[in-house]
Amino acid sequence: MEMTTEQEYHVKQVAATMALSDMPLTREAHQNLVDVATGAKTSEEVIAEIKAKYGEADGDAM
């Protein structure tokens, strides 16, 4: 899906903020932002994919 000018602006703002915080986005993270911005995926879907890929934390680390 193509992004609107406003969606593109917001994704670039997030990417810039992360880079300024010394946490540049990976290609996958950038694509997830684009997917959520365009409505291709919900944030819940992205979270579920990340949990499936890396395993859900058991919560005992804190």
Question: For every residue of the chain, which 3-state class applies, written as one string?
Answer: CCCCHHHHHHHHHHHHHHHHCCCCCCHHHHHHHHHHHHCCCCHHHHHHHHHHHHCCCCCCCC
Question: In terms of pLDDT, which residue wins out, 57 or 5?
Answer: 5
The answer to whether position 34 is within a domain reads: yes
Domain that holds residue 30: 24-53
The answer to whether position 44 is within a domain reads: yes
The answer to whether position 17 is within a domain reads: no
Two tokens, residue 20: 């300024």
Using pLDDT thresholds of 50, 70 and 90, give the confidence band for residue 40.
Answer: very high
Q: What global pTM score does this model have?
A: 0.80
| Domain count within the chain | 1
The answer to whether position 9 is within a domain reads: no
Read off the pLDDT of residues 15-34 as tens digits, 9 standing for 90 and up.
Answer: 999 999 999 999 999 999 99
Tell me the C-alpha to C-alpha distance, in Å, between residue 5 and each of 9, 42, 52, 61: 6, 20, 32, 41
